[in-house]
Copies of this chain bind each other. A is one copy, B any other.
Amino acid sequence: MENKRPLFLVTNDDGIDAGGIRALVDMVSDLGRVVVVAPDGPRSGQSCALTVSRPLRLTYVGGEGDVSYYKTDGTPVDCVKLAINELLGGRPDLILSGINHGSNTAISTIYSGTMGAAYEGSVIGVPSAGFSLCTHELEPDFGCCRNMVRRTVSALLVSGLPDSVCLNINIPYKCDIKGVRLSRQALGYWTEEYEKRTDPRGQAYYWVTGRFVNTEPDAEDTDSWAVANGYISVVPTACDRTALSSFPAVKNLLSLT
């Protein structure tokens, strides 16, 4: 008899050994079957990168009951593509990415591998969400994400999402959560980004570092504001990057008719 329980593809960018992905699986495994396909180590900052210059490996790691774990030597997007093409024989019901260790608000969403995997889901028409816990504490308790994860999964199973849209969900840490706010991506950029060092042979090398400058810290409709003020932020996020509102300006710029 065919198993009718929904199928969740779970991935992340912190790697298969990260606490956040194990926590995410625990939070949803009673709601459906779970296939985890995650990178074999950290892939933070991998955005929507996919691996084209070398082949990939896909390795079964273990499993129990309706949960199975695989790892790849690729990016989060590679994980989703490999899972759907080589493991699942088709599309899962949902793609869940995370729980990321650290926030993915504001411009971080464009660099985030957690969100890369969620974008990939939205490209192929699978309702997808990335979850991030906003803390850099070394061993955080992901349990505070449980209610929001289950609420999101239940809602996505019933209603799906608009075409080409996925959810970017950021959850504040260790505070009395005031509620859930539908938000837009805050504007801003990273600055003072490198620490320059000299190696033992006298050659320079550069570690990325820096700090985020929020250029609209008081905008209450942004994800950064929501999380800083004790709310869970939900940003509906598009894989269509077309900036429709700028069409008149660009038409004028290039003297197009």
Residues on A close to B: CB < 8 A?
42, 44-53, 55-58, 75, 77-78, 81-82, 85-86, 107, 109-111, 116, 119, 123-125, 151-152, 155-156, 159, 161-165, 167-168, 180-182, 184-185, 187, 189-190, 192-194, 196-197, 203-208, 234-247, 249-256
Contacts and interface: CB of A to CB of B under 8 A. Distances in A.
Q: Which 10 A-B pairs have the closest CB atoms?
A: A238-B243, A47-B48, A47-B47, A49-B49, A55-B205, A184-B242, A236-B246, A162-B246, A236-B243, A45-B52
Given A194-B82, A243-B236, A250 B207 contact: no
Count of this chain's copies in the oligomeric assembly? 2
A179 B159 CA distance: 43
A74 to B, nearest CB: 9
A25 to B, nearest CB: 22
Contact of A50 (B45, B52, B243): B45
Given A42-B53, A205-B55, A250 B81 contact: no
